[in-house]
Chain A
């Protein structure tokens, strides 16, 4: 089934440390993955994406890793800042079906 309505796991990190947020996706046919960031009172915002023909993609301070063997996705944030405090969602898409499935989300707290 789809990952919905679960209480959010929480990750607390010290400012300046690296953060790793993990996600297990559900559909082995999914071939496109996106990480979103949601700040309080706002809608989710795109951070970075990766297609299934890749296992790593880097952006500015963020890296996404994809392990299709175990259906696992991770988001690494380098030198975490207070502004990174938010809820992070992974999303999986099967491009043959167009439906997006969101993970349950992880709340990141950054301690100054």
Chain B
């Protein structure tokens, strides 16, 4: 079946602009995660959605970052007033439950100039 998809694959934006990153999880997966990965580094947890529960936003680095998940499926990560330090690969993952293996999308590479 289809895996996790993310769009766009690459995004170049000017400092100060807003960006939206999209994630389509695997159908039937109740849990969805967003991570950030800077070049050559590990995964930084951003936000976690589980079913209809309130999301765990504890990893969001600032109030410029927000995410929503509509209808328990597609998720959008929004970064307002982008800064150069926001440049990274943003990875989305979904899992059948919150405690099973995560399936990752290919990521969106964001470059803020």
Which A residues have a C-beta under 8 Å from some C-beta of B? 2-8, 32, 34, 36, 41-46, 49, 89, 91, 93, 95, 98-105
Contacts and interface: CB of A to CB of B under 8 A. Distances in A.
Interface of A is mostly: loop
B42 A103 contact: yes
Nearest to A49: B101
B41 interface: yes
B41 A43 contact: no
A100 B41 contact: no
B106 A98 contact: no
B42 A43 contact: no
Contacts of A7: 40-41
A78 B29 CA distance: 33
Q: Interface size for chain B: under 10, 10 to 19, 20 to 34, or 35 or more residues? A: 20 to 34
Contacts of A36: 104
Contacts of A2: 45
A57 B49 CA distance: 30
Contacts, number: 71
Contacts of B45: 2, 4, 99-102
Contact of B99 (A32, A44, A102): A32
Contacts of A5: 38, 41-42, 44
Given A100-B33, A105-B43, 13 more contacts: A4-B41, A4-B43, A6-B41, A32-B99, A43-B106, A44-B91, A44-B104, A46-B101, A95-B99, A98-B99, A102-B45, A104-B42, A105-B42
B93 interface: yes
Nearest to A34: B101
27 contacts: A3-B42, A4-B41, A4-B44, A4-B45, A5-B38, A5-B42, A7-B41, A8-B41, A34-B102, A41-B106, A42-B107, A43-B104, A43-B106, A44-B93, A45-B104, A46-B102, A91-B102, A98-B48, A98-B98, A99-B45, A100-B45, A101-B45, A102-B35, A102-B42, A102-B45, A105-B42, A105-B43
